[in-house]
Structure 1
Amino acid sequence: MSLTHDATLRELPTEHGVLRYHEAGDPGAPPLLLLHGSGPGVTGWRNFGANLPLFAEHFRCLVLEFPGFGVSDPTDQHPMVAALPAVGRFLDALGLEQVDVIGNSMGGVVSTRFALAQPDRIRRMVTVGGMGRAIFSPSPGEGLNLLMEFTEAPSRERLIEWLNSMVFDRALVTEQMIEERWAQATEPSTLAAARRMYSRAALEGMAKAASTSPEPPYWAMLHQVRARTLITWGRDDRVSPLDMALVPMRTIPDAELHVLPNCGHWAMIEQKSAWEAAVLAFLTRKD
């Protein structure tokens, strides 16, 4: 099977709308769920499409497209709220009792929340930036502030500023990437979902809700994660700075931390070979 976008794309009808995903690899191989991050024009394919050829040699790869990002059906909920139950519906519909999971940024937070809520369903977990809590650096970070500015008043220039904050090497931000992201990010329902996440009012509302909630934040519950965990991070991440990794690295009982140099927020893209080697060794290790 050719690992192109169209050849791997699948649809899964659910009671809450159609979930779309990409599938690659032997259907009988161990399942590997890949969960994308957030931001203008993001998709699971854009996060992980280039990594599928390697992982599909070892796993049945399933790249889920979260509701509200322009690929799966829209959602009226906050996209982060909609993402967690979407993972459960997706695995249930495919009859998968347990998976390994890779989550980038928001996808790492969703993976972690799922591992806390349904611990028997995650064997091993890999996160790529984004998960944890800032200890020394300002919060929100530079990349999130640029994302908020774009979300509130979209322009091509603001999109380019945000994309440049995602990488160490700005040569990765090509005209094709800019045009593809601009087209999807400004689609009305996708932009509306982004504003529920990243407008100034949304971020201020989330901070206020967190300060008054009787429930502890997810990062305070990381000691309950049972899955063996690999935390991967770009040393030069300007969206979720490296010090965010300290809390999960210290509190998840069976966690390892792998830091990649000359690398921003997209470790799986910017340091593709090194990141893939570390992740594959972790997921296939026999101990």
Structure 2
Amino acid sequence: MADAQRPEIGASIDAGGVTTNYLDAGQGAPVVLVHGSGPGVSAYANWRLTIPDLAQHFRVLAPDMAGFGFSDKPGDYGMKRWTDQIIGFLDALGLERVSLVGNSFGGGLALRVAVEHPQRVDKLALMGAMGVEFPITEGLDFVWGYEPGIETMRQVLDRMAYSRELVSDELAEVRYRAASEPGVQEAWAEMFPAPRQRWVESMATPEERIQEIPHETLIVHGRDDKVIPLENAHRLNALIERSELHVFGRCGHWSQIEWAADFNAMLVRFFSREPR
């Protein structure tokens, strides 16, 4: 799947003009994991606890989106850049139809792909997802406003997790180093400059379009999320006809980490069952 010394670096492919680093594990029906937008994030950082379990049942693909991780940092960031990259990624790998899992920012991207390219999506899973309009939270404003520093990174991570036990000095150091890789901070500074409410709105898909989504959709959210409000999940559940909602208590913005085993089992069941 990746170099044992640098597990965050996998294969590389041209995805819609963006040289894209991605992880590829397992066999079977394809599932594409789309990461969130925290500083220092990558497909590996976001999905390292998810990929091994899912790869026992499916072919799991996890790309670094443009500007993140070890993919190109071409500038001109926005929904079109990122959604074109996802479709280009599928085209480059010869994948006609996949299930999508989107986390936070990645949830907004997955939602937009499902609306604009419904024929390319099998099932949809949204975790702590953007994609509808909401007043920006203090947590998201702080995360998107990250300035380099280990202490600042620790404060970012504090807003992500319900349990402070997950936010160690070591994790803050690892994420700080990842955010300091060549070109990463420069790309980050371009993406979400203040005022940041406009980026929430730019990532929202019109509700009348969301109501048209035909796909079975699993919506997962942490009850105690300080970054993306729980109300987003309830709104998406109300809008998408074939949707179901699971809320984890004692959970912040990291369902895939804080409730990893349960989250993974839920995805396996959802993607394995016959359509309803």
Whether these two folds match at TM > 0.5 is: yes
How far is the alpha carbon of 1:280 from its aligned partner? 1.4
Question: Which of 135, 138, 144 is the matching residue for 2:140?
Answer: 144
Higher helix share goes to which structure?
A: 1
Residues paired across the two proteins, number? 273
Matches within 5 A, 1:1-287: 6=7, 9-14=10-15, 16-26=17-27, 29-133=28-132, 139-150=135-146, 153-187=147-181, 189-201=183-195, 203=196, 206=199, 217-220=204-207, 221-287=209-275
Letter in structure 2 aligned against 1:51: T
Letter in structure 2 aligned against 1:131: M
How far is the alpha carbon of 1:193 from its aligned partner? 2.2
Conserved? CA contact 1:75–1:82, under 8 Å: no
**Change over 3 Å in CA distance of 1:11–1:269 after alignment to 2:** same
How far is the alpha carbon of 1:158 from its aligned partner? 1.7
Which of 112-121 and 172-181 deviates more? 172-181
Which of 78-87 and 266-275 deviates more? 78-87
Q: CA RMSD in A?
A: 2.3
5+ unaligned residues in a row in structure 2: which ranges? Answer: none
Letter in structure 2 aligned against 1:12: I
> 1:7 and 1:196 mapped to 2: Cα distance?
23
How far is the alpha carbon of 1:79 from its aligned partner? 4.8
Percent identity (aligned): 33
Conserved? CA contact 2:109–2:131, under 8 Å: no
> 1:53 and 1:259 mapped to 2: Cα distance?
23
5+ unaligned residues in a row in structure 1: which ranges? Answer: 211-215
> 1:256 and 1:234 mapped to 2: Cα distance?
15
Conserved? CA contact 2:102–2:129, under 8 Å: no
How far is the alpha carbon of 1:237 from its aligned partner? 0.5
Q: Deviations over 1:209-245 (max 9, x none)?
A: 86xxxxx950412101111100000111000021111
Aligned to 1:213: none
